[in-house]
Amino acid sequence: MSKTPTTTIPTFDAIYHTYQNLMFRVAMNILKNKSDAEDAVQLACIKIADNLEKLTDIHCAKTKGYIITITENKAVDIYRQNAKKNHLEYNADFIGFTIPCETDDRLAGCILRLPVLYREMIMLRYYYGYKMKEVADLMDISLANAYKTEQRAKKRLKELCQKEGILE
């Protein structure tokens, strides 16, 4: 008997218990430290709880990607804070932040090769359709900073696309 796919309206509990492991792995991949990863998951949970109404189906790829993006963002925040504390230079192109990808879709490849904050900005704005104010709230940055990040993200994406020959 075939199962009919069902749509589950997400609750915070359901999201948390479905994705807690994935969220922790995302954070650990960036932070390499359990207690920092735990903090990142906690911060991400608060953001997700604040924006539950935006999610429609707990199991869809969009929800999963969104949860990854938010967790990644919070983990990068912590990484940057740690780097600052230890007087280390923050490198957005750090290997742990980039997603190794082999795809025929050259534009998707360019998006994934963006520095993590730029990729998150592009995904939140154009894939999830968030307003700039909402993105600024999610990323805990000022509106002006969000606009600046978006501008840089688009510029970098354009450069990558030109390099790939997608754009002239």
Partner 1 sequence: MTKKDFNTSLEKANQILISHYESLNTDKDVTSDEQIKSILPFTARKKTGISRHISKKVACILAAAVFTGMLLFLFSGETSAIFFGWIKEQHKNYVKYISPKKNSNSAALKSYTVNYVPKDYSFENAEHDDGSRTLIYTTQSGDVLTIIYSSGEKEVEYYVHSAQSKMYSVSVNGLSADLYLSSDNQTPSAITWYDKENQLFFYILAPLPEEELIKIAENIKQSESALQMNTSERFLDALVKCEKKYYKEALSAHQQKHQKLLTQDTYIVKYQTIDKPVYTFVDYEEKPTAHFIVEIAYIYDTSTETPVKIFDAAISDVYLTSVQSCHFDNGGYNIRVEDNLARISSTGQFGFNDCLTSTQTYASTIRLQELAD
CA distance 39 to 53: 23
Distance of CA 131 to the CA centre of its chain: 16
In the complex with partner 1, the residue whose CB is nearer, 148 or 163, is 148
Judged on CB neighbours under 10 Å (0-12, 13-18, 19+), 31 is: buried
Nearest distance, CB of residue 1 and partner 1, angstroms: 27
3 state DSSP class of 4 = coil
The first and second tokens of residue 142, run together, are: 């000022």
For partner 1, the binding residues (CB under 8 A) are: 11-13, 16-17, 20-22, 24-26, 28-29, 32, 34, 38, 41-42, 45-46, 49, 61-62, 64-65, 68-69, 99-101, 103, 105, 107-108, 111-112, 119, 122-123, 125-127, 129, 131-133, 143-144, 147-148, 151-152, 154, 157-158, 161, 166-167
The residue assigned the tokens 């608060």 is 46
CA distance 139 to 158: 23
Nearest distance, CB of residue 53 and partner 1, angstroms: 14
In the complex with partner 1, the residue whose CB is nearer, 1 or 55, is 55
29-to-40, 91, 142 alpha-carbon distances in Å: 12, 15, 27
In the complex with partner 1, the residue whose CB is nearer, 2 or 108, is 108
73 closest CA partner among 33, 100, 46, 106: 46
Nearest distance, CB of residue 140 and partner 1, angstroms: 13
Nearest distance, CB of residue 3 and partner 1, angstroms: 21
In the complex with partner 1, the residue whose CB is nearer, 24 or 94, is 24
In the complex with partner 1, the residue whose CB is nearer, 1 or 168, is 168
Nearest distance, CB of residue 67 and partner 1, angstroms: 10
